[in-house]
Structure 1
């Protein structure tokens, strides 16, 4: 009986553990949608001359403000912790929205960033102050822009132009944006959430490919 009990435990525990974690993955595999009505980007002007859109892209959206060089440390944090590990994923890009008239500062910021990363997937767009405010307000977050129209927080926008985040973050409740001042937030929260949304789309692509084969 003792041998039977030991053998049962040895086989049963791994199975129970697997089922537990598998159910957890199924339950938490999708990053929650926090807002489905975000202003489109198409009317904004890209200083690189590219068409920039939320549609069909996973976008990390940021607001460096009218003094982009003051955002350099935050940009470095993002470059190291998020951009560099994930920039090679298809349809993944960064978009930074800056008020018009600050193009020289943007070029300085780009020059500094280009010493540590390639900027192919990091787009800078300009717009009027009012348009920048409207885009930010359309996110429907509980955050605010500073007087220079900047925020240290960046936002995850999915391929359907929906804001993603956390509904029950242990620290702030609803987590709309990720504070680039905090290495801990980028390492532990944003990094995990970017992994989740990328895995979500990989799973959808896998299912689509399997259906096509049938």
Structure 2
């Protein structure tokens, strides 16, 4: 009888508090993060500084477009590195991919040498290079409202799940206000910390739940 009473008390008082703390930790009211664009193209034909291939499939990816003026976005790299990348860098299936036009390789090497390496590891952080036409064609297939500038850059980064679906916010926020968010600004720390961090938690939770359902809960995502 006492155990039954404790269960009732837990359901009535403790559970609502836990739920409140979960949702109060961020601004996203979605339990599953909506899909903005399904099945975006793969990028295995593009090469890294080490002339290696990377792919989106089976990875949780933060995707960015840097353009031809790499140093202009240096501060944005630091924001993304410290707030998002540093938290998830040890997860097996997490990566950051930054897309740049061919010819910017030397700028990236300079950035790595002078700046990013000072922060620590950049495991799973990839810079890939393609022709301007390839970048424009790929970006167009993301079907986004925001556009690249004349250097093929945007300050926004995007969340892509393991099935190559671009994820974001589409629907209503907690106040019932219509909300649409396809990317996260690396300029504003508040956008990364309050919104992207919250949405990444949902993506991570989705895959952990899927692993548990498949009786593989001990595997890293």
Q: Is the 8 A contact 2:45 2:53 kept in 1?
A: no
97 and 210 in structure 1: CA distance in 2 versus 1, 3 angstrom threshold = closer
TM-score (norm 2): 0.83
Aligned to 2:75: 73
Question: In 1, distance between residues paired with 2:69 and 2:30?
Answer: 38
Corresponding position: 1:177 with 2:177: no
Q: Secondary structure at the match of 1:53?
A: coil
Q: Which has the larger radius of gyration?
A: 1
Unpaired stretches in structure 2, ≥5 consecutive residues: 1-5, 24-28
Displacement of 1:155 in angstroms is 0.3
TM-score (norm 1): 0.85
Corresponding position: 1:137 with 2:120: no
Question: In 2, distance between residues paired with 1:191 and 1:54?
Answer: 20
Question: In 2, distance between residues paired with 1:17 and 1:92?
Answer: 32
Higher helix share: 1
Q: Is the 8 A contact 1:166 1:173 kept in 2?
A: yes
Question: In 1, distance between residues paired with 2:104 and 2:19?
Answer: 52
Question: In 1, distance between residues paired with 2:204 and 2:62?
Answer: 12
68 and 13 in structure 1: CA distance in 2 versus 1, 3 angstrom threshold = same
| RMSD, aligned α-carbons | 2.5
Matching residue within 28, 32, 51 for 2:34: 32
Matching residue within 185, 188, 198 for 1:192: 198
Q: Is the 8 A contact 1:37 1:138 kept in 2?
A: no
